[in-house]
Amino acid sequence: MLGSFQTSQLRIEVDASQQAIGESLLQPMQLGKWLPSGKFPTGMPEQLNSGFEFTTHIGPITILSQVDVASENSLRLLLSQGIDGFHEWYWGEGWVQSRLEGISMLPLSLSQTASLFSLRQYLKSKQS
């Protein structure tokens, strides 16, 4: 794998319930509305569950994600190809935390920050 090892952990406050945050992270239909890449393959399940695999693209870079853990307050994706590592999400009432580690040529902390702010904006717009 080409690239450098990167690690980033961010936590933000959001004006949303634990349930609303979980639905936004675990339901591909909602994920596609706020995630900057926003394009998921057809045939995605209604809700992510352990063992499910899917492929996304960021420009010409392909990322294979395997759902390792999907629960009412956490999501862990094992990543390969464009990013060799993992992405963990934890959430509760009014907060979301994201931890990303991997080897990649992509600027992971920049992507992670953009994703979190996009999620915050999406949750805010859902309440309007």
The residue among 2, 1, 4, 13 whose CA lies nearest residue 94 is 13
Domain ranges of the chain: 10-127
How many beta carbons lie within 10 A of that of residue 42, not counting itself? 4
Percent helix / strand / coil, the chain, rounded to 5: 30, 40, 30
pLDDT at residue 59, as a whole number: 80
The model's pTM: 0.92
CA-CA-CA-CA torsion sign (20, 121, 55, 97): negative
pLDDT in tens, 79-126: 999 999 999 999 999 999 999 999 999 899 998 999 999 999 999 998
The residue among 28, 62, 68 whose CA lies nearest residue 46 is 28
Residue 21 has phi, psi (to 5 degrees) of -65, -45
Helix residue spans in the chain (DSSP H): 18-26, 28-34, 108-127
- 3 state DSSP class of 99: strand
Architecture (CATH level 2) of domain 10-127:
2-Layer Sandwich (3.30)
Numbers of helices and strands, H then E, in the chain: 3, 6
Question: For all residues of the chain together, what is the average pLDDT?
Answer: 92
